């Protein structure tokens, strides 16, 4: 009797697949460091006497000839009456390639493949355009091709041949609210997915009132730990860089969205800490407390999205 497939088992297999890819990534990093490390250490004067020259020569040959020479798509058919239509389809494919910037993806793919494993995913996504077909509207879709980072790629953890892997995967992030708003998903199961740390009822009401809606707060918690401490720790005070005369009301710790490259992943969630006692000391009423918590929370959320203190001060003056 075949073994039942349940979400917990699939999750465990995928986890092992990611662990296997981490070992492969470390091996690829060691290979890259061995052959190109010196080119990063020395700013100039390196002619190169290592095998990297062969790889560089290959890249220098492949990229211009296979990618950068503006290749065109010629579609043909043995049916004479349809040849003109095939030529139009070829022109359409040329246009799609330019729209999705396929050149840039193929350049990165060739380099990745020569240094280890190059992975591209391609499919059709929603285009946001509706075409009327009879009595219904149809989204024609938009072709896309994207390079997949090794940090987000997963395969069958027991396969010995990529072509025989029972599955391939690419880790993506989908907002929880999007799943709840879309039919076809088990909404009860989506609600049970783990979130970041949640303050107690009183603190959560304080954080959400006059600052964010409950749904927006829950969405934030899918990406950031929002916690409340009475006072900042000594290490947090040092990290903030504040002067002794200044008071730390909140602190963002993590990697801002604007600094996350294609290899960002496998890290703990960002963290926003709201310091209760310093905020309460600055406020004389509940209304003032809510306003201050709202201001501090929005300030730290802005850091999460990559907005600096200097830019925040400019925004406040506008």
pLDDT tens readout for residues 171-223? 877 777 778 888 777 888 877 776 665 444 345 444 444 445 555 556 666 67
Does residue 65 have a pLDDT over 70?
A: yes
191 neighbors 172 (Cβ within 8 angstroms): no
Give the tens place of pLDDT for each residue, 282-299.
888 877 888 888 888 888
Give the tens place of pLDDT for each residue, 226-238.
888 888 888 888 8
What lies within 8 Å, CB to CB, of 253 at 6+ separation is 236, 239, 270, 271, 272, 273
Domains of the chain: residue spans and CATH:
7-172 (no CATH), 186-317 (3.30.2010.20)
Structure-token match 């000594």, residue found: 234
């Amino acid at each position: 009797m075949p073994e039942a497939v349940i979400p917990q088992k699939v999750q465990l297999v995928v986890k092992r697949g990611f662990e296997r890819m981490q070992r492969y990534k470390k091996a690829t990093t060691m290979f890259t460091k061995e052959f190109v490390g010196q080119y990063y250490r020395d700013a100039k004067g390196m002619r190169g006497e290592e095998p990297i020259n062969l790889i560089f020569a290959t890249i220098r040959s492949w990229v211009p000839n296979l990618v950068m020479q503006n290749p065109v798509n010629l579609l043909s058919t043995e049916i004479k009456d349809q040849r003109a239509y095939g030529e139009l389809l070829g022109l359409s494919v040329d246009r799609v390639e330019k729209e999705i910037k396929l050149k840039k993806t193929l350049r990165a793919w060739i380099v990745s493949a020569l240094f280890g494993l190059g992975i591209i995913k391609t499919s059709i996504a929603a285009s946001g355009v509706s075409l009327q077909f009879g009595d219904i509207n149809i989204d024609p879709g938009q072709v896309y091709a994207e390079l997949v980072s090794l940090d987000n790629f997963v395969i069958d953890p027991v396969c010995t041949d990529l072509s025989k892997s029972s599955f391939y995967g690419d880790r993506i992030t989908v907002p929880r609210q999007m799943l709840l708003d879309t039919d076809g998903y088990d909404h009860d199961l989506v609600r049970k997915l783990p979130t970041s740390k949640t303050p107690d009822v009183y603190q959560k009401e304080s954080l959400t009132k006059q600052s964010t809606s409950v749904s927006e707060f829950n969405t934030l918690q899918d990406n950031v730990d929002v916690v409340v401490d009475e006072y900042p720790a000594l290490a947090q005070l040092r990290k903030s860089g504040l002067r002794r005369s200044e008071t730390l009301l909140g602190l963002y710790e993590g990697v801002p969205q604007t600094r996350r490259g294609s290899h960002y992943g496998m890290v703990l969630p960002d963290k926003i800490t709201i310091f209760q006692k310093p905020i309460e000391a600055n406020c004389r009423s509940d209304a003032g407390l809510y306003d201050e918590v709202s201001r501090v929370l929005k300030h730290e959320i802005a850091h999460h999205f990559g907005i600096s203190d200097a830019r925040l001060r400019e925004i406040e003056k506008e």
